[in-house]
Amino acid sequence: MSTFMFSDFDGALSRTEAVLKEHPQDPMAYGYVLMVTVFRELYHQDLLDTTYYAHNSFLTSKRDVPVPAATRQRIEWLTDTGIKLCDERIKANANDKNATFARGYIRGMHAVFITLADHSYVAAARQGYAARNDSEAVLKLDPQYADAKMAIGIQQFAAASLPRWVRILVGVMGVGGNRERGLALLRECAEYGVVTAVESRTVLSLFLRHDARYPEALAVQHGLAVEYPHNYLFRLEEANLTKDEGNGLGAIALYKEVLANAARPGYFVDPRVQMAWFGLADTQRGQTTSRTRRRTI
């Protein structure tokens, strides 16, 4: 999965498709291809800019996301086929923790897609809570199965963070959540997980940003940027968080560094530089406004 961590979605898709071809009866092979396919499409739709999700305003967005029919069909087929394989394994062995985890993983990835691309919050909530239930079942079978903690952590935080009107809309008024418990589970998965460690760190950074806990979010994100220096999104997010923290000059330097690296052949794969240019311009405007205010005082 290293190509995915370098945001080389085409390379990651080629490799995961090859794994699926060699292991057509392994449900996690479907999960990996699904994950790359979903995030590749979200990236092409400019839906991986976390500034969009830093506040709850995205919940009321009417943004049209024209997903190609072939991509949508592939996502639905991967989801349905992977879950069917999991169901068959669990029917044969109710204690199959790996199949149960795989089913939760696949359901969670599908929930991400229909949330961000389709704004189908009711269907996404059902998939998300089914993923949480699968993950809780895994931990009952094996309390040390750290990867299963990601889905539970996401649901714990989300359930505690959703506005009341959204809870009513998606029918989850009776589902409890705890923000700190969710963050703690994500930290455990980030430290001990095998499959979802990087994903957990990414979500943890986003949730901390949502709560304006910028120093904590920056610590997580800087670690990702250092570990994966050729991942455009990780580097961009460090600049975004530096801006949100109020360090305008530091953010400007980081945005310029991202753009300079983007201009280097082969440094990033398919960088969406408009996101960095927007962040840089927004930060520079804020710095200009701040200086103007100081001069008028």
Instruction: Give 19-41 pLDDT, tens digit per residue.
Output: 999 999 999 999 999 999 999 99
Say what the pLDDT of residue 173 is: 45
Q: What are phi and psi of 64, to 5 degrees?
A: -85, 130
Say what the pLDDT of residue 262 is: 97
Cβ proximity of 134 and 104 under 8 Å: yes
Rounded CA-CA distance 37/13 in Å is: 7
pLDDT at 271 over 90: yes
Mean pLDDT of the chain: 88
pTM comes to: 0.89
Question: Which of 37-46, 64-73, 171-180, 251-260 is predicted most confidently?
Answer: 251-260
